[in-house]
Structure 1
């Protein structure tokens, strides 16, 4: 730190080193390239360099796109449907419009988009169940962090400040945001001044107090899906609300995912569950495992495990699931499922009631209706006469080896956040933009009732760019 009493001057201050922040900082650098007076950019990151990147660093980052880099044509309407019309449809259409050029931007910086086979159908392609290989960055979100981060590190106009905590925004006499008060690793505070600030530091997943306040009872029981989101403390929301910002998104809503509780590995999600059954600690089924494709149900499974099953569940399947080509690609844990020749032996390995499991499986098997089992489509093979029913892929669990995974729910992100306009400007309840203040990524609210997936990283990248573009246009050449 400088001994000078004059605060550092920046053209843009970006708070957060995940997809939204990186996109904003790098886009602003490109938008201001060639100016007579080089633009100065600060990027603030709560963590140290080794842990930088927040949630982005740990996610597999599915992308809801086709080979031409176009967003799923059904996504905007999907968000509107599941939200009951509460979500900002124009925001969603902006995501659709900006997807291709945003992905070209990250690819230009070395992020490779891969399309790899997945063993179960999804609805990323026009809303219709499909076996089309889904897209993701090769190397996951870490590829975005490292490639875009390297570009910023190599730019002399960019000042990356690790272990720097944003405390509050500062404003000029006329209400324009003109900087940030920060606390550095030595515990001291410092004011950074800038022409514009982008809030891109995630939601409040890592703040138990805010989770309890908004999400409610038992929020403290939610483990984090990845260590990076420990630093998502709700700073963006807190600082924006202090200036009268409006909010969007469902504040008691969260994106939770079913994860293997035998491991500490980040993002150890069980996606490939559709062909088995879930049981709780009482060995009772509690969810229609086949009500829709995995992408439209895995979040609901996670939420149910947390909210109503005391964070304890088990997934049970048999040899027919093991025979699905590539099924292990849908299990992200570093520990393979427990495997046994009998249900009794499997129960012993899982530490659960063998008699109760055998009874539930027998009742399920007896309720399986007619039809051909086909894990590549919604096959309509359902149960009859039991609750909850299983609407598709109901096949008897009667063929050894039997497999099982003990599960808990982990929080990935919160739904509620700051409201912005289509340029990423933070707005008040009247819709008035707060001058000099922008927000992008999970710091901003969008979703209600459900998160149609494979768009979190994408919308973060997109609105980081849009915020940077607008901020650059407001500043003199």
Structure 2
């Protein structure tokens, strides 16, 4: 079990209080009922696999992963008579004094105009819009990899903001994790994530460490590492481990770079061999005696090393040595539209939209001003998706 108050404390810590506390508490308090509701829609669950971020106590896992979950939801929608139109793009909305009247849809090469009594906007963020990312991150955004769809370009987010919807969070805030630099630009998915960071030393292309790899357990820190890598020269970093740590994390889709010595590994990673050898030697010299425990903070730390490593610090001294090249993998952006507890979009003057509701990533920034707790994005989508659907249906029939 994951008590609501523990969940709340974790959320307050990772967001540094940058959250709408009313909406956040509502989401967390509804979380215990979510698995039962999902099961009723046909979603099947499985036990946590070894190495799944250490989340077996706090998170539930879908059989078949996210695709299995979505397939179950689409099948349920079909059973209920919902028509899903694929390969269609909404290019514009018409709002009159805060009230939705119609939208423009392109499908099969033809443009259509559709009217409805209410609208739910669940169109995601803009993580696949590299030009928009550059507005906050500069030219370095060209080196970002997008974990999901190439179609999440933020068109409807931009439309709502242009209509005067009140923004939440900041343009440079996002869920970003370290993924293998050999991954495709888009659609690499969860398989490209590399989970060895807490057992490694992380170095930039100058072969220098730049952050405490052992600050906390991986589920509470993995989503900060994409941003940390994004701040490094060339938006690239390298996780360095030895054979002692090779089997402590989930297998990776790409094999690590392997070498018999640190100098040889540096050459294969195109790093300066002398610098990486010195960085590893300095780190090893700072490792203090302790009882290593890969499953929880163990206090195994360094002394006299900058930055320090506060947990899981072990000498990297047992060949073969391994390295993973890592880049920022953007999952979703946090800049979105403000909503109230009925999922109504809020405009700049504080008034709610009459019949426009938002759910999912396009409004997740109400709760995630910064930081992340594993699985929270899906929880926000579930809770606010149901609220938005119920409110939109109520508005349509009344």
Q: TM-score, normalised by structure 1?
A: 0.77
Cα distance per residue 1:362-393 (max 9 Å; x no partner) = 11111111222222221111111111111111
- Equivalent residue, structure 2, for 1:266: 189
- Equivalent residue, structure 2, for 1:24: none
- d(CA) in 2 for partners of 1:133, 1:344: 41
Cα root mean square deviation, aligned: 2.3
- The verdict on how the C-alpha distance between 1:270 and 1:282 changes in structure 2, with shifts beyond 3 A counting, is same
Question: Does residue 212 of structure 1 match 2:134?
Answer: yes
Q: Is the 8 A contact 1:71 1:99 kept in 2?
A: no
Deviation at 1:400?
Answer: 1.9
Farther-moved stretch of structure 1 (216-225 vs 361-370): 216-225
Question: Does residue 257 of structure 1 match 2:177?
Answer: yes
Cα distance per residue 1:168-193 (max 9 Å; x no partner) = 22235x6421221122231x322111
Question: Does residue 190 of structure 1 match 2:112?
Answer: yes
Deviation at 1:443?
Answer: 0.6
Q: Is the 8 A contact 1:163 1:184 kept in 2?
A: yes
Helix, strand or coil at the partner of 1:166: strand
- The verdict on how the C-alpha distance between 1:83 and 1:204 changes in structure 2, with shifts beyond 3 A counting, is same
- The verdict on how the C-alpha distance between 1:98 and 1:179 changes in structure 2, with shifts beyond 3 A counting, is farther
- The verdict on how the C-alpha distance between 1:133 and 1:251 changes in structure 2, with shifts beyond 3 A counting, is closer
- d(CA) in 2 for partners of 1:114, 1:72: 22
Question: Does residue 178 of structure 1 match 2:107?
Answer: no
- d(CA) in 1 for partners of 2:7, 2:36: 20
- d(CA) in 1 for partners of 2:377, 2:58: 19
Name which of 199, 208, 227 aligns with 2:121. Answer: 199
- Equivalent residue, structure 1, for 2:61: 136
- Equivalent residue, structure 2, for 1:371: 290
Question: Does residue 390 of structure 1 match 2:341?
Answer: no
- The verdict on how the C-alpha distance between 1:337 and 1:274 changes in structure 2, with shifts beyond 3 A counting, is same
- d(CA) in 2 for partners of 1:415, 1:471: 24
Q: Is the 8 A contact 1:426 1:438 kept in 2?
A: yes
1:210-359 equivalence runs, <5 A: 210-216=132-138, 218-226=140-148, 228=149, 230-264=150-184, 265-267=188-190, 268-322=192-246, 324=248, 327=249, 329=250, 331=251, 333-359=252-278
- d(CA) in 2 for partners of 1:467, 1:410: 29
- The verdict on how the C-alpha distance between 1:255 and 1:354 changes in structure 2, with shifts beyond 3 A counting, is same
How many residues align? The count is: 392
- The verdict on how the C-alpha distance between 1:209 and 1:292 changes in structure 2, with shifts beyond 3 A counting, is same
Gaps of 5+ in 2: none
Cα distance per residue 1:25-55 (max 9 Å; x no partner) = xxxxxxxxxxxxxxxxxxxxxxxxxxxxxxx
- d(CA) in 1 for partners of 2:84, 2:6: 38
Question: Does residue 463 of structure 1 match 2:384?
Answer: yes
- d(CA) in 2 for partners of 1:469, 1:288: 45
Deviation at 1:215?
Answer: 4.5
- d(CA) in 1 for partners of 2:329, 2:73: 28
- The verdict on how the C-alpha distance between 1:249 and 1:359 changes in structure 2, with shifts beyond 3 A counting, is same
Which has the larger share of helix?
A: 2
Gaps of 5+ in 1: 1-65, 125-130
- The verdict on how the C-alpha distance between 1:308 and 1:348 changes in structure 2, with shifts beyond 3 A counting, is closer
Cα distance per residue 1:213-248 (max 9 Å; x no partner) = 34545223322123x1x1111123112123321111
